[in-house]
Structure 1
């Protein structure tokens, strides 16, 4: 039975994880450990949030679950370190956990590669300066961003309060005709329950933060699971 541990910052949309556990079915456990800092979408605060000490604490909290892999479930708290720093962040987390590790930022790059997606539109909730760092991270991973929007929402708590219909509209309204997929990069946003609706509206793959984070954890554990309601990635991303 694979156990994937997730280190989640503060509280916002972590209920996407038990939702996923229930739909993935028997044989998968997705425990979540919370670490606390600020939920402000600002570079200095995000660097502190993703620091080695905080992630090591998250690994310690997950240890009792005996996870097969650990994922830092925070996009901005990983890409803000830039590609080399984010890689070092994951390496230190793996060392602290004694298990394979990754982060949501790398999950986006790996999920895009799994789907053969090279050009994307980004529908970001972050302020513009933070969103641009995600664009830079994707570019370093071979993913071209053909359009990027930033909603300028300052805190994760505000993102977590978005109504489902607002999440759908955010994704749909920021598509681009040249994009092969739309990326929605914030684990504070509840997206698993609306993925089907977004993809139906857009007619193309949608990659969202909690979706790719869970997929990445399963990938690290060598597991492939199919859930129709979790978008194209969970229908054919493991092929």
Structure 2
């Protein structure tokens, strides 16, 4: 993908996460300087729709990200220099809770900060802790009552699914699964962020389950502080 096209896609995803409304070429022209006119931005957006990174709702002239668009955005953010920079600015309080294995306090804190469902799985203790279902439900964009049921079902069945499919999450680095690509959640509306960490003599799996419009940068920064 050409650099300018990637910049336009990244900007479109950021704008949609921030506002929740379909993104137009005029909005991108007003908020960003790509060095081209709105008509050319519109052409780039049409190409991104054709390639499957964006889609255009029938009722709107704007575009919204597809799962592929979110995947591109998340991967680009994980590879950015900002993500791999020094530890300055990392949350020392969260890092301290992690080091102390204060899992309940840690989950309450990250769930509150990020508006997501937080999960910690410790195979050694054979315990799965989770917190933040209310925060998750409040932050999701609902279209039908069935979507609420799907998310609640994911919450109820989470421990059994971790036992069955949790091995797919043990990759060391931060992993991001958009929509139905997640091995342990089935709702198309969710994003799963997973990180595996060594603490003392045990491996701990930390999960953040949130909406597609979650604050990816803030979430990744939280996970990054567990590496210190």
TM-score if structure 1 supplies the norm length?
A: 0.29
Flag the structure with more relative contact order, 1 or 2, with Cα contacts below 8 A and sequence separation at least 6: 1
Find the structure with the greater CA-based Rg.
Answer: 2
